[in-house]
Chain A
Amino acid sequence: EVQLLESGGGLVQPGGSLRLSCAASGFTFRSYTMTWVRQGPGRGLDWVSAVSNSGGSTFYADSVKGRFTISRDNSKNTLYLQMNSLRAEDTAIYYCAVGWYYFEYWGQGTLVTVSS
């Protein structure tokens, strides 16, 4: 059974940083592109970033480019999202998901709140 468990969310002040993690199990993690998708309160889904199976290629939405860094550790079956210079509009539930052309499996999400 595929399991994705996000952690690292919380309350942070504007301009602050957080590092999200997504622990994966139940599939061959190193074989799949991994993606972060977020959903603001009462809002729709918003694609954030993706990383290739090897970690060699990374992709970002314009809204987070230069502030967020995606990475992975295939030896630990874990995906990361380093978020710097956080803004109020980054407040959202952050989901990790498996896949590139579509997102078949999703974690339960971790809530990030950016507020003073």
Chain B
Amino acid sequence: QSALTQPGSVSGSPGQSITISCTGARSDVGGYNYVSWYQQHPGKVPKLMIFDVSSRPSGVSNRFSGSKSGNTASLTISGLQGEDEADYYCSSYTSSSTYVFGSGTKVTVL
């Protein structure tokens, strides 16, 4: 199972909005509404930010939102803040009853 495709890096200024894409196939992202997103600061444990494409766990800021169109899922961070600088990974359930993560995107706050 190949990793889902994410841009290597995305940057934005404080207060701006950025969007990270996550492209897969009909056998994973396109076939199921089981896409999740994880934030990972350097040396830290991944943190769940979005599940089931667009749901937010309790405690996660509403500045984070998720969506999906076809085989591509997206994570949008609005009102970008310095603390949002981290690596972000998408993940999807697959038709093989396994999971696949994205290649990861480094978010830089300018």
Contacts and interface: CB of A to CB of B under 8 A. Distances in A.
Interface of A: 35, 37, 44-47, 50, 59-62, 95, 101-104, 106-109
A103 B3 contact: no
Contacts of A47: 91, 98-101
27 contacts: A37-B46, A44-B89, A44-B102, A44-B103, A44-B104, A45-B38, A45-B40, A45-B89, A45-B91, A45-B101, A45-B104, A47-B98, A47-B100, A47-B101, A50-B99, A61-B1, A61-B98, A95-B45, A95-B46, A101-B51, A102-B34, A102-B36, A102-B48, A103-B38, A104-B48, A104-B57, A106-B46
A106 B104 CA distance: 18
B97 interface: yes
Interface string B26-50: 0000000010101010000111100
B99 to A, nearest CB: 4
A59 B98 contact: yes
A-B interface, 7 closest residue pairs, ranked by CB to CB distance from nearest: A102-B51, A102-B36, A47-B99, A44-B104, A45-B101, A101-B34, A106-B45
B53 to A, nearest CB: 10
Interface in B72-101: 87, 89, 91, 93, 97-101
B45 A60 contact: no
B52 A44 contact: no
A45 B103 CA distance: 8
B101 A60 contact: no
B37 to A, nearest CB: 9
Nearest to B4: A44
B36 A46 contact: no
A60 B48 CA distance: 22
